[in-house]
């Protein structure tokens, strides 16, 4: 039996690791992971890559080495189509930065397929966004933003040293969810670090950050109290928060709202909304929702095909809300983690000819970190089996623990302890920020 997993994000890599250990090592199945990249970074940390707090070269996981250690195979590949009758994947050609072909177009067979290709930012069809805004959907995009940020800081410092005291760096961020909020705080940490490491002319007043949210408040997934506390902390840091502000179009280095207010900015980041890749809507015979997610049944098999599973941001799974209403499983890392666990169980059940289990989403709460300044959130299943509001150091520790749980899922206890120790050592011997 050949199990192919497309997408090495949080859910896909955790699934490949688990199936590799349980099936691949024991020769019970061939487990193959396909991804267009060579390395994995936990997507909720991409805002730290963008600011420089996290170094992709140090903190990423190489797919090939990880596959060797955990009993599965890895191949570079970018999905462009599925022949469900033949059970064959079509992979597009891959080329390097110079345009030279690395791998040609090719096919990959499967017995069971798991689509875990994640999601991308949703521009909601707003004119000019795709051409003029930066997205943080991949390590490459986050790294590119960081390099541009470094260059802007260096240019700004030079101009200030020459007496142009009116100069400033303006970053506009669209989207008041976790990514937008966390990136806003990380930018101020970056400014502090660059001042520490030689760009002495840049002061707090030389960085302007505008956070623009269409809804009435930040962090709609959290309570109003947490939302208000987060906004107050961001304002204290110096972020200009604009709620109930709808962007109508984007131009080069500018955003224009529906009432024609203009935000001129050196860097513009779009972090509003999530959708699945557009190509999923083109897979014949497979149903998708408005966010391009593949509709899955309770056992996470894609509706219309008994050999294809979907999980994470690309899976549209309906569940009952707290008031009995139907709602989609939210596109979060914890959702992908829980789905990966169930798909692993169900594939093993299929091998053993046992009945499949249904997915039950358990909300573990939400946390948002404002860099090293503070953190806010709620933990579900706390005291009295309700929700426990946390902030400050406790919330920051809980936030870090989410990443450690992901590392546990892919590395196990021993390696995770070693990685954690290495992180502590690097905290003392490395700069606090990636400076290049």
DSSP 269-292: EE---EEE-GGGGGSTT--B-TT-
**pLDDT confidence of residue 380:** 58
Q: What angle do CA 230, 234, 235 make, to 5 degrees?
A: 115
Relative to beta strand 79-83, strand 101-103 is: unpaired
Which ranges of the chain have pLDDT less than 50?
A: 381-385
Does the domain at 2-121+274-362 match CATH 3.50.50.60? Answer given as: yes
Please state, in angstroms and rounded to a whole number, the distance separating the CA atoms of residues 340 and 334: 10
With a CB cutoff of 8 Å and minimum separation 6, the contacts of 187 are 51, 149, 171, 207, 209
**pLDDT confidence of residue 368:** 84
Q: Quote the percentage of the chain above a pLDDT of 90.
A: 75
Residue 82's SS3 state is: strand
**CB atoms closer than 10 angstroms to residue 425:** 10
pTM as predicted: 0.92
- What is the assigned CATH class of domain 129-270? alpha beta
**CB atoms closer than 10 angstroms to residue 285:** 11
The structural domains of the chain, with segments of one domain joined by +, span 2-121+274-362, 129-270, 366-429
Q: Of 279, 250, 8, 4, which is closest to residue 138 (Cα–Cα)?
A: 8
**pLDDT confidence of residue 388:** 64
Q: What angle do CA 199, 200, 202 make, to 5 degrees?
A: 80
Please state, in angstroms and rounded to a whole number, the distance separating the CA atoms of residues 75 and 269: 32
Domain 2-121+274-362 matches domain 129-270 at the CATH topology level: yes
């Amino acid at each position: 039996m050949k199990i192919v997993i497309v997408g090495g994000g949080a859910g896909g890599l955790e699934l490949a690791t688990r199936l590799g250990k349980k099936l691949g090592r024991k020769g019970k199945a061939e487990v193959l992971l396909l991804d267009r990249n060579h390395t994995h970074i936990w997507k909720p940390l991409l805002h730290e890559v963008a600011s420089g707090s996290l170094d992709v070269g140090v903190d990423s996981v190489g797919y090939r080495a990880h596959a060797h250690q955990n009993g599965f195979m890895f191949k570079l590949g970018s999905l462009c189509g599925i022949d469900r009758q033949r059970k064959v994947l079509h992979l597009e050609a891959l080329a390097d930065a110079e345009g030279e072909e690395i791998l040609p177009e090719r096919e990959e067979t499967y017995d069971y397929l798991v689509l875990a290709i994640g999601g991308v930012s949703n521009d909601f069809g707003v004119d000019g966004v795709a051409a003029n805004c930066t997205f943080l959907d991949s390590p490459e995009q986050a790294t590119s933003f960081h390099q541009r940020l470094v260059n802007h800081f260096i240019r700004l410092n030079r101009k200030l040293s020459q007496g142009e005291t009116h100069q400033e760096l303006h970053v506009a961020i669209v989207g008041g969810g976790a990514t937008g909020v966390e990136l806003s705080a990380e930018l101020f940490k970056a400014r502090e670090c660059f001042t520490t490491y030689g760009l002495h002319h840049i002061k707090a007043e030389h960085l302007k950050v505008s956070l623009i949210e269409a809804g009435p408040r930040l962090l709609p997934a959290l309570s109003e109290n947490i939302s208000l506390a987060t906004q107050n902390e961001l304002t204290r840091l110096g972020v200009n928060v604009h709620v109930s502000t709808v962007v109508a179009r984007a131009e080069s280095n500018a955003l224009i709202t529906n009432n024609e207010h203009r935000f001129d900015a050196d860097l513009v980041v779009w972090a509003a909304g999530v959708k699945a890749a557009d190509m999923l809507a083109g897979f014949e015979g497979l149903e998708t929702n408005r966010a391009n997610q593949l509709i899955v049944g309770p056992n996470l098999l894609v509706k219309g095909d008994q050999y294809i599973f979907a999980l994470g941001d690309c899976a549209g799974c309906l569940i009952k809300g707290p008031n009995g209403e139907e709602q989609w499983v939210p596109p979060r890392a914890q959702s992908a983690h829980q789905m990966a666990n169930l798909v692993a169980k169900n594939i093993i059940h299929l091998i053993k000819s046992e009945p499949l289990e249904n997915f039950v989403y358990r909300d573990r709460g939400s946390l948002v970190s404002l860099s090293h300044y503070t953190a806010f959130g709620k933990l579900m299943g706390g005291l009295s089996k309700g929700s426990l509001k946390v902030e400050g150091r406790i919330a920051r520790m809980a936030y870090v623990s989410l990443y450690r749980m992901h590392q546990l899922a892919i590395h196990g206890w021993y390696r995770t302890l070693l990685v954690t120790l290495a992180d502590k050592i690097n905290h003392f011997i490395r700069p606090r920020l990636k400076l290049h």
